[in-house]
Amino acid sequence: MVNGAESLVATLADEGVEVCFANPGTSEMHFLAALENPRLRSVLVLFEGIATGAADGYYRMRKSPAATLLHLGPGLANGIANLHNARRASSGIVNIVGEHATAHLRHDPPLKSDLEGLARPISHWVRRSISACAVATDIAAAITVAKGKPGQIATLVLPGDVSWGDAGDPVALPKHSACSEKPPAPAVERVNQVAEVLRKGEPTLIIAANLATRGKAVELLGRVAAATGCRIGTQFFTARLERGAGRVPLERIPYYVPAATKFLSGFKHIITLETTEPIAFFSYPGSPSLLKPVSCSVHTLTYAEEDSVEGLEMLLDALGARDTAPVLQQRTIVSPPEGKLDPTSIAIALTAALPENAILVDESLTTGRESLGLTAGAAPHDVLQNMGGSIGFGTPVATGAAIACPDSRVFCMVGDGSAMYTIQSLWTQAREGLNVTTIIFANHSYQILKTEFLNMGFGSPGPRALSMIDIDKPRIDWVAMGTSMGVPSVRVHDAGAFYKEMVNSIREPGPRLIEVAL
C-alpha cells in the first residue's frame, strides 16, 4: 500500500509528467519523500517564482506540462507573477500546493490562507484533495486540463493528512481522452469567408500566435502569403516563435503605440490565428487602446482551442494554392562586430554567434526591442518572449527550456533590473549543469521606465523620480553575483568582446553569464 503523496508521484509519472520544479516546506515532506521515485525528475529552485517560470519554459519547448511543488499560500503567492505570464502564454502547468493537515486548519495557524482564492485568478482548474484515496484521480484530472489545447494551468491543493494518509493499493486509472484528442478544425464557413477576403487582393495582415508560430503552421502561412500577396506577422510578444535562415519570416508589430498604428494604418483586413486584434500594452493619454484603423476589418481563422495547421490547409485548398512554395528567410552572413555596444552591434553579434537550434529567451526590455528585429537571418532558432508583462520572467523560463531541450544552448537576454527579480535561477542552472548563457544588459537603471515616463507626457524625470528608476547606488556586480552561484561570469565593454564571449560560452557545457556593460 502507498500513501497519498506516493500515489500522486506515481500518477504524475504514469501520465507522462517527467519533471517537478520544487521549493518544498514542512507541509510537503511526504511529497518530498515520494520524489525518491526515479521516474520523476525533481529540480530544486530557491524561489517559487522560478519554479513556475521554469515550468512555463519547459512547456513552451516540450508542449508537455511539468509539475511545480509550492509551499502553502505564501509559496503559491510567490509563484503567481510567472503563473500569470504562463497563463497568457497558454502554457500547461500542474501546480501541487501543500496545505496544513485538515484538522489543524481550525486552529488558524500562522500560515493558513485562502489557497483556492489565491489560485483561481491564475488557474483554469482548482481542486482540493479530500482523501488519500482520491489523490490519483485528482492529479490525473489536473494533468488532463494542463495537456489540453490551449495549454492550461491546473492547481491541486494537497493537505498534509491527505499526503500522509493511506491511499490503498495502486489502481489503474481510466485513460483521459482529452489528453489525446485532436483539436477541432475551424468551421468551413469561417475558412471560406477568410478565403474570400484574401481573393479581393486588398491590403491584408495575418497575425499568428501560440501554436501557429511554430512547426508546419509557419510553412503554411508562408504558402498563403506567397499565393495571395498578404503579409504575415505576430503580435509584439510571442510565446514561441521559430525563426531564422530557411524558415518563413514573420513580421513583428511594433511595441510603441505610434509605431504600431503607423505599421497597421495601411491594412484593410486583419486575419487572426489563435490571437486577437492588436491591443496597446498600456494606455497612454490621448492614445488608442485598439491599434488598427477604424476602417480595418478583423476576421478570425482559428481560435485558441482549434487546429491552425488544419485551418491553414483548408484555407489553401479553398484558395487552390496548396502547392504554392513559401518564400524563406535567407542566411545573413555578417562579420563579427567591433567597437561600441549598441542595439545594432549587439544584433550583429547575436546573428554571427547563435548556433543552429539555439533557444533565445528575450526579456531585454529596452535593448532587445531594437536588436531582435535585426537577427531574422541568424541560424535557425526559437525565441521565447514574455506574454504577460510581469518581469522576472527570463532566467526561470531559460532554466525550464534548458531542461526541456538539453542538447540546445539557451541564451537568456535580460535587463539588469528584471534579472534581480529571479536571479536565484543561476544557482539552479549551476546545480543542474544546464546549458544556459545569461546575458545581462547592465545600464544600472530601469531604462524602460525612463522611456515610459516620457511616453506618459512628463518629459525627463526629476531628481526624486530618477531616484526611483536608477539602480546604481549601490551598483550591482554581476560578475561577482554569477560567480557566487557557481556560474562562470565575465564582463564585456565592447561588441567584439561580447561576440567572443558568446562563442566561448557555446564551447563548454554548463551555464555562463556575460555582463554587457552599457
Q: What's residue 178's pLDDT?
A: 44
What is the arithmetic mean of pLDDT over 481-503? Answer: 97
Q: Are 398 and 361 contacting, i.e. CB atoms less than 8 angstroms apart?
A: yes
Q: What's residue 450's pLDDT?
A: 65
Quickly tell me which residue has 516546506 as its cell. 25
Q: What's residue 371's pLDDT?
A: 75
Q: Pairing between strand 381-385 and 241-243?
A: antiparallel
pLDDT at 278 over 90: yes
- For the chain, the average pLDDT equals 93
Q: Are 389 and 281 contacting, i.e. CB atoms less than 8 angstroms apart?
A: yes
Same CATH topology for 188-319 and 343-517: the answer is: yes
For the entire predicted model, the pTM comes to 0.94
Query: In this structure, which CATH number among 3.10.20.90, 3.40.50.150, 3.30.565.10, 3.40.50.970 belongs to the domain 4-179?
Result: 3.40.50.970
Q: Which of 61-70, 460-469, 490-499 has the lowest mean pLDDT?
A: 460-469
How far is residue 202's CA from residue 428's CA, in Å, rounded to a whole number?
52
188-319: which CATH topology?
Rossmann fold (3.40.50)
CATH number for the domain formed by residue range(s) 343-517: 3.40.50.970
> Where are the domains positioned within the chain?
4-179, 188-319, 343-517
- Residue 146's nearest CA partner among 165, 166, 127, 167 is 127
What is the arithmetic mean of pLDDT over 10-28? Answer: 94
Helix (H, G, I), strand (E, B) or coil at 314: helix
Q: What's residue 447's pLDDT?
A: 66
